[in-house]
Amino acid sequence: MLVSTFHLGNIYIGVDILLVREINRSMEYTPIPGSPNYIRGMLNIRGRIITLFDLKRRFAWSQEEPVRQSGQDKELVVEPKKQYNVIMKTHHEVMRISRRLADTQCTWEDPVGLVVDRLGDVRNVVDDHILPPPANLKGISAPFIRGVVRIEKELLVILNIAKIFGSDDHLATDVTTGGASRVH
Amino acid sequence: MAEEDEELLAMFVQESTEHLENIEPNLLILEERGAATDPEIINSLFRGVHSIKGSAGFFGLTAISKLSHTMENLLGKVRDKSIEPTTEISGSLLSGLDKLKTMVHDVVNSEAVDASAEVAEIQAILERSGLAVPVVAPPKEPPAQEKAPVVVAAPAAAPAAPPAAVPAKEATAPVAPSVAETAAAPKGVSDPFVLENFPNMVADALRDGHHFFVVNVDVPPGGEQARKDFVNQFSQLVDSVGTVVDIKPALSAEGSVPTLPDGILRFLVSTMLTADLLQDLVQLSPNAIQPLAIPAGMAKAAPAPVAAPVKASAPEPAKQPSKSTTPSSRLLKPRPEQDGGGTGQRVEERAKSSGQPTVEETLRVSVALLDELINMAGELVLTRNQLIRATAGFVAQSPHLASLVQGIDSVTSRIHGKVMQARMQPVNVVFNKFPRIVRDLALKLGKKIDLEVRGGDVELDKSVIEHLSDPLTHMIRNVADHAIELPKDRVACGKPEAGRVELAAYHENGMVNIALIDDGAGIDSERIKSKAVEKGLITEARGNEMSEEELLDLIFAPGFSMAKKVSDVSGRGVGMDVVRTNIEKLRGTVHISSKVGKGTRIILKLPLTLAIIPAMIVSAGKLRFAIPEIGLIEIVRVAETDLAKQIQMVCDAPVLSLRHTLLPLVDLTSTLGIETHMTDGRGGVHWLDSWLQQRAQLEEGNASLTSSSTKRSRRPPGHSISYYSQAIYVMVINVSGNTFGLVVDDVLDSEEIVVKPLPSYAKDTTCFSAVTILGDGSVASIIDYSGIVEKAKINFSSLELASSDLEEVARAALREKQNIILLETQSGLVMGIVNNMVSRVEVIQRNQCRMESINNQSYMHYNNVTFHTIYPDRILGLEGNGFPDDSGSGEETFCMVIPAITGLQVGLVFSKIVDTMETYIDLDCHVIQADGLFGTARINGRLVLFPDLNRLFQLADIMPATTEPQPDYDGLRALVVDDTPFLRIVTATYLSQAGFLVEQAEDGLGASQRLKTSPYDLVVTDINMPVMDGLELAKEIPSTMNADTPVIATTSFISSDLVTRCVRAGMVGCVPSTDKFRLLNMLATMRRV
């Protein structure tokens, strides 16, 4: 399995490359008042409206208040720190590659994206090497993790993004650690 | 070859479907108008059926061909007026049409369809009329025509190989030109037409592939007028397929026909038809039509004739079929370039307004392709915008670049616009089929139903339209089956015999509403309840708890059917739940409201996914939002310096005074909960503080009336409306009849925006209906008005909603002035009381009276009388500043209002009298809603509250001792007639408190109209009114269906003379307006009698 890897804070994370549609430099986005705090906002990429997820908030990390640029007339917020948007494929798009993958890993219908701090390499991971998350792993609650892999000296956390883009209700009712759980 | 056949067959199906779609509405018109139907409509019917027949014959589809031929025959008789178009005829044609539809729809199996019943029915009509002598069109159809069906119907013509049929169809076409060569100067005609005289016509004809024919027409004998009519008629007929170029002998200038020695008028006709088709159309013998060849010289001079291939097609059998269908399809094509002349009488207005679909050239494009195009067009717009920005610097130096950029700009905009339109379809696509459905149902059920369709041009996304058809059909069937009563039942309850059903589409709040309104029996919520309990959908206890609305909602529960017996129209208990499911799939909602005996109103609210709507782009809390212009009434800019003057706080709610009304304000930023961390948090001054400070300064000199406000500014702010100390914009918005002001920071732009569905992750936020992409590529949310209203917790009173005309009227200028007294309460509010509600006002020195409080009620002893005292502001719950001590150190005096209610020793305590005046009261019921308050009005720039004294006393638990046990008026219907909105509201409030269902009318005329159409149990009317006064109204009532309804008059000046006149006019009596007790007492007396 090829995995796209990223850095988020000091954690090394990865997602199945088949689920990734494209990666952009972070750009202007529009917040959605009243939405959950881990929804950063909406983004227009070539006519598609992407809902951006703030992974740090999703993992309920201590509020890292982004530094705002002041004295700027733009209504839209520009993150001063260079970040990257990882735009995911939709269920429909993954369906064309693999029905099984779409049903288990990519259950969202809307175009969504993740915000990460830095980009890493594409890694080839052998499925057998993926281990269940260690119980003492800090920072990411177990349902969000599909497994961990030791790569060189680092520990790569492979995300269960079906859970990340699922709603909290589902989390409560369907707490499994494996990757193969449908959200909808 | 086989593939080609299939393609051709598909073309035939599409073409025929188009014809059939056109035929149906025209048949309905024919049915409705009978002999008065515009001949053009009959012609178009004829042509439609004819071309189906022709094409079907070509494909060897004998069944279709036979049926359409029979129909054509009948239509032919109707057209030449040898048969009067009765409903029997249109009925048989309609059933024939249905059969045709079935056959065309499944064309492969059409031969197996049994249409003999339809054919026989039509044949029977034809045979019966066979005796009738034809009136016009002397040379009847050649016998060959009559024989045609026999030939075609013969079983030998097996589902034939198409090429076999070709010659039959095409045989005459090649003949025509050959005849043309020789017939340029028809024999026996001394005065031939010379084409050289009409060079323009010839050029046109060459371009369009038209032919010229000389048509010799026998003009029937008769007077001047008859001849003229005949010629007109004939010209119109020809106009539908071509042009009359010339007539010989020439007509006079006024169009009158000269006398004809041989009774023959010769027409030079230019048409796209071939000779045989033209002959078919005009119904003359073949030798009456002679082709006229275009002289060789002229043909060469003209540009390469397009007409040629049509003629030349004969030797190419492979291609031929496609060509041969062309002429027949052209038959139906509207000819806009020549319609200009006689449109007035030719196309009936009705046909236009009912959205008769004109046949348009269409091309099937896959939706996926369209969506891709739409996305790319969007990108193109963004790129264009960037291009403009990037080149802005160079444009000045290079004028050439400027024009290029401009060109790209405008083309891009147009591409974008057109591409967007491509997915939209008018709801007529769905609506058009309902007149027919309703007609059929009405006939079947023995009812009379008038269907009115409005707003058919409202456009919805294709996908929405597609899914709308089934639920709407079901709803319409339901209405026809259950809602509309049988004619005799309708008459019995005083309704017109024909039920009225209205189907309307309109925009509201960025949604498309589709309303289905009937004036039928209405839905009895009690029956729903018992039925639902019976079916086990709800428990009885639950049923008793449910509001009427909730009960009506049960109709949409799965497995619920209200029909008393199952009919084949509806009533199988599948239906309304499917309607709801379908509509909800489209992310729409269904609302139902109903009044027993009056009718039902079902409203579908549909999102216009992908629709383009005009919107204002505004900013609030540094974010941009789109506000749909639908529902947006106006935008008011309140300058920084005017904030204090124009915005007031009432019960913690900001209101804007706008042209004598008070507009509740909703701050977008705070309602959406936009926090400062979401924005750059610049300059966040608490706007309440800022304007309250200004206000305090403003009022320093003039402190008395509004002292409360300065007090209020000391209070901690109740809720945070964070704002900037700068001008604000108030978007005045109307949402379902109620108006409020949405406060935004700035209005940036007005744009046509493309509505995109809200990301599912944002669906919990009810404040947005959708999102859009703005010109610069950023995303903006589209504000949903009702969501905002909900979130901001504005409650528009239900009384107001019930009578939507009230609001409008309350704002209208009053025609009667009221004498009022303005008083200030101890908490600083100003209240107004109408003088005739007041017995007297006493100014009392504090040291001359003694206050006591017993059991939470306060009493005052003064002048040897004990008064029960009440503080209106406390009872209304509108206090807020704390009260000065009752035993009061403050003012030396206070004043007490003793109301004009007999049997009450009550005093209302105010701190002082502000003013007395005679003025118009422009009552507003929205701004402050408190039990015991009629409403508010602005008088001389002050906000004045008008309390309902009677209600106040009830709230204070001091109802008059004399009150008799109140009779139960629940559910009775009362009509209140008063031209003065204030008094009307007062009386209506009294009656609705007593349990009446109150309706209101502005004057006698409006009232008498209502009285004619619906039953009432009581009429309370003002005497002095414009247009028709109360006495006249009373005299009118016996002639309405409400002859026995008691009428009570209200008046401001009661006199014995007036009472006599009232009684003489048939009224029960007369009471002073605003006197609740006398009114109720009179009602109670009547009840006892």
Segment B424-438, tens digit of pLDDT:
788 888 888 888 888
Nearest to B427 by CA among B455, B463, B467: B455
Cβ distance A31 to B378 less than 8 Å, yes or no, reads no
Three-state SS at A56: helix
Residue ranges of alpha helices (H) inside B554-678 are 576-585, 643-646, 668-671
Q: Are B625 and B694 contacting, i.e. CB atoms less than 8 angstroms apart?
A: no
Cβ distance B375 to A71 less than 8 Å, yes or no, reads no
Token pair for A102: 């779409």
Instruction: State yes or no: pLDDT of B461 exceeds 60.
Output: yes
| Domain definitions of chain A by residue range | 2-173
Q: Confidence class of residue B402 from pLDDT cuts 50, 70 and 90?
A: confident
Task: Find where tokens 């409403």 sit.
Answer: B935
B484-505 pLDDT tens trace: 888 888 888 888 888 889 999 9
Token pair for A94: 């993954």
Q: Confidence class of residue B795 from pLDDT cuts 50, 70 and 90?
A: low
Ordered strands of the B599-607 beta sheet: B449-454, B499-508, B511-518, B599-607, B589-595
Nearest to B859 by CA among B932, B909, B912: B909
Would an 8 Å CB–CB cutoff place A168 in contact with chain B? no
> What is the distance in angstroms between the Cα of A25 and the nearest Cα belonging to chain B?
15
Residues in A touching B682 (Cβ below 8 Å): 70-71
Percentage of residues of chain B with pLDDT beyond 90 = 1
Beta-sheet pairing, A118-124 with A2-8: antiparallel
Instruction: State yes or no: pLDDT of B818 exceeds 60.
Output: yes
Q: Confidence class of residue B510 from pLDDT cuts 50, 70 and 90?
A: low
In this prediction, residues B577-581 reach a mean pLDDT of 76
| Distant-in-sequence, close-in-space partners of B887: CB < 8 Å, separation ≥ 6 | B846, B851
How far apart are alpha carbons B253 and B269 in whole angstroms? 20
Most confident by average pLDDT, A171-180, B491-500, B532-541, B878-887? B491-500
Instruction: State yes or no: pLDDT of B230 exceeds 60.
Output: yes
Three-state SS at A139: coil
How far apart are alpha carbons B13 and B325 in whole angstroms? 12
Nearest to B514 by CA among B561, B481, B473, B569: B473
Cβ distance B678 to A33 less than 8 Å, yes or no, reads yes
Three-state SS at B882: coil
Task: Considering only the beta carbons, identify the residue of A68, A72, A109 that sits closest to B760.
Answer: A109
Q: Confidence class of residue B839 from pLDDT cuts 50, 70 and 90?
A: confident
Cβ distance B673 to A33 less than 8 Å, yes or no, reads yes
CATH code of the region A2-173: 2.40.50.180
In this prediction, residues B672-694 reach a mean pLDDT of 47
In degrees, rounded to 5, the angle at the alpha carbon of residue B653 between the alpha carbons of residues B652 and B657 is 130
Task: Find where tokens 């019917």 sit.
Answer: B45
Q: Which amino acid is at B990?
A: Y
Q: Count CA atoms closer than 13 A to B740's CA, side-chain side.
A: 27
Q: Confidence class of residue B515 from pLDDT cuts 50, 70 and 90?
A: very high
Would an 8 Å CB–CB cutoff place A135 in contact with chain B? no
Residues in B touching A77 (Cβ below 8 Å): 678-680
B631-643 pLDDT tens trace: 788 888 887 777 7
Residue ranges of alpha helices (H) inside B535-664 are 540-545, 548-553, 576-585, 643-646
| Distant-in-sequence, close-in-space partners of B136: CB < 8 Å, separation ≥ 6 | B80, B81, B220, B230, B233
Cβ distance A35 to B762 less than 8 Å, yes or no, reads yes
Cβ distance B762 to A47 less than 8 Å, yes or no, reads no
Least confident span in A56-65, B304-313, B766-775: B304-313
Cβ distance B777 to A42 less than 8 Å, yes or no, reads no
In this prediction, residues B309-322 reach a mean pLDDT of 39
Q: Confidence class of residue B38 from pLDDT cuts 50, 70 and 90?
A: confident
Q: Which amino acid is at B712?
A: R
Beta-sheet pairing, B449-454 with B942-947: unpaired
Would an 8 Å CB–CB cutoff place A68 in contact with chain B? yes
Nearest to B185 by CA among B284, B293, B282: B293
Task: Considering only the beta carbons, identify the residue of B621, B682, B778 that sits closest to A30.
Answer: B778
Which residue pairs from B868-871 have beta carbons closer than 8 angstroms and sit at least 24 positions apart in sequence? Answer: B868/B904, B868/B905, B868/B906, B868/B907, B868/B958, B869/B896, B869/B906, B869/B907, B869/B908, B869/B909, B870/B906, B870/B907, B870/B908, B870/B909, B870/B952, B870/B953, B870/B956, B870/B958, B871/B825, B871/B826, B871/B908, B871/B909
Most confident by average pLDDT, A69-73, B281-285, B965-969? B281-285
Cβ distance A70 to B778 less than 8 Å, yes or no, reads no
Three-state SS at B361: coil
- What is the enclosing helix (H) or strand (E) of B647? strand B647-650
| Distant-in-sequence, close-in-space partners of B843: CB < 8 Å, separation ≥ 6 | B893, B894, B895, B913
> What is the distance in angstroms between the Cα of B402 and the nearest Cα belonging to chain A?
26
Ordered strands of the B865-870 beta sheet: B838-845, B893-899, B906-910, B865-870, B857-862, B850-854
Stronger pLDDT, A166 or B575, i.e. the higher one: A166
Q: Is the sign of the CA dihedral B266, B270, B275, B277 positive or negative?
A: negative
pLDDT (0 to 100) of residue B509: 67
pLDDT (0 to 100) of residue B503: 92
Ordered strands of the B768-773 beta sheet: B746-754, B612-620, B623-628, B779-783, B768-773
Nearest to B871 by CA among B902, B903, B834, B828: B828
Q: Confidence class of residue B257 from pLDDT cuts 50, 70 and 90?
A: low
Residue B242: count of CB within 10 angstroms of its CB: 23
Cβ distance A51 to B768 less than 8 Å, yes or no, reads no
Would an 8 Å CB–CB cutoff place A72 in contact with chain B? yes
How far apart are alpha carbons B620 and B767 in whole angstroms? 14
Closest Cα in chain B to A70: B680
> What is the distance in angstroms between the Cα of A68 and the nearest Cα belonging to chain B?
6
Task: Considering only the beta carbons, identify the residue of A42, A49, A75 that sits closest to B619.
Answer: A75
In this prediction, residues B643-657 reach a mean pLDDT of 73
pLDDT (0 to 100) of residue B711: 35
B127-184 pLDDT tens trace: 877 644 333 333 444 443 333 333 333 343 344 444 443 444 443 334 334 333 334 4
Q: Confidence class of residue B977 from pLDDT cuts 50, 70 and 90?
A: confident
pLDDT (0 to 100) of residue B357: 43
Integer angstrom CA distances of residue A88 from B162, B359, B412, B620: 54, 45, 30, 31
Instruction: State yes or no: pLDDT of B305 exceeds 50.
Output: no
Q: Which of A27, A30, A108, A165 to mutate to test the interface with B (most CBs of B within 10 A)?
A: A30
Rg for chain B (alpha carbons), in Å?
A: 38
Q: Confidence class of residue B598 from pLDDT cuts 50, 70 and 90?
A: confident
In this prediction, residues B781-806 reach a mean pLDDT of 62
Token pair for B801: 């909603």
pLDDT (0 to 100) of residue B186: 44
Q: Are B446 and B486 contacting, i.e. CB atoms less than 8 angstroms apart?
A: yes
How far apart are alpha carbons A30 and B765 in whole angstroms? 15
Cβ distance B673 to A48 less than 8 Å, yes or no, reads no
Task: Considering only the beta carbons, identify the residue of A42, A69, A75 that sits closest to B771.
Answer: A42
| Complex prediction ipTM | 0.76
pLDDT (0 to 100) of residue B952: 78
> What is the distance in angstroms between the Cα of B667 and the nearest Cα belonging to chain A?
14
Q: Which of A28, A37, A49 to mutate to test the interface with B (most CBs of B within 10 A)?
A: A49
Instruction: State yes or no: pLDDT of B976 exceeds 80.
Output: yes
Task: Considering only the beta carbons, identify the residue of B623, B761, B779 that sits closest to A35.
Answer: B761
Residues in A touching B374 (Cβ below 8 Å): 47
Token pair for B21: 């779609």
How far apart are alpha carbons B195 and B187 in whole angstroms? 17
Residues in B touching A44 (Cβ below 8 Å): 773, 777-779
Task: Find where tokens 């049915």 sit.
Answer: B31
Interface of B with A (CB under 8 A): 374-376, 378-379, 619, 621-624, 672-674, 677-682, 756, 759-762, 764-765, 767-768, 771, 773, 777-781
Cβ distance B622 to A32 less than 8 Å, yes or no, reads no
Task: Considering only the beta carbons, identify the residue of A49, A68, A76 that sits closest to B759.
Answer: A49
Angle of helix B687-698 versus helix B707-714 axis, rounded to 10: 140
Instruction: State yes or no: pLDDT of B526 exceeds 80.
Output: yes
A111-135 pLDDT tens trace: 889 988 888 888 888 888 888 877 7
Q: Are B993 and B957 contacting, i.e. CB atoms less than 8 angstroms apart?
A: no
How far is C-alpha B77 from the geometric centre of its chain's CA atoms?
A: 39
pLDDT (0 to 100) of residue B1013: 81
Stronger pLDDT, B177 or B46, i.e. the higher one: B46
pLDDT (0 to 100) of residue B300: 53
Would an 8 Å CB–CB cutoff place A97 in contact with chain B? no
Nearest to B260 by CA among B185, B191, B186: B191
Stronger pLDDT, B169 or B530, i.e. the higher one: B530
Return the percent helix, strand and coil in chain A, to nearest 5. Answer: 20, 35, 45
> What is the distance in angstroms between the Cα of A184 and the nearest Cα belonging to chain B?
13
Residue B1037 DSSP class: G
Token pair for B991: 């009656």
Residues in A touching B618 (Cβ below 8 Å): none
Residue A152 DSSP class: T
Q: Confidence class of residue B371 from pLDDT cuts 50, 70 and 90?
A: confident
Q: Are B578 and B557 contacting, i.e. CB atoms less than 8 angstroms apart?
A: no
Would an 8 Å CB–CB cutoff place A96 in contact with chain B? no
Percentage of residues of chain B with pLDDT beyond 70 = 71
Would an 8 Å CB–CB cutoff place A47 in contact with chain B? yes
Q: Which amino acid is at B162?
A: P
Integer angstrom CA distances of residue B486 from A110, B449, B477, B493: 51, 10, 15, 11
Average pLDDT, chain B: 71
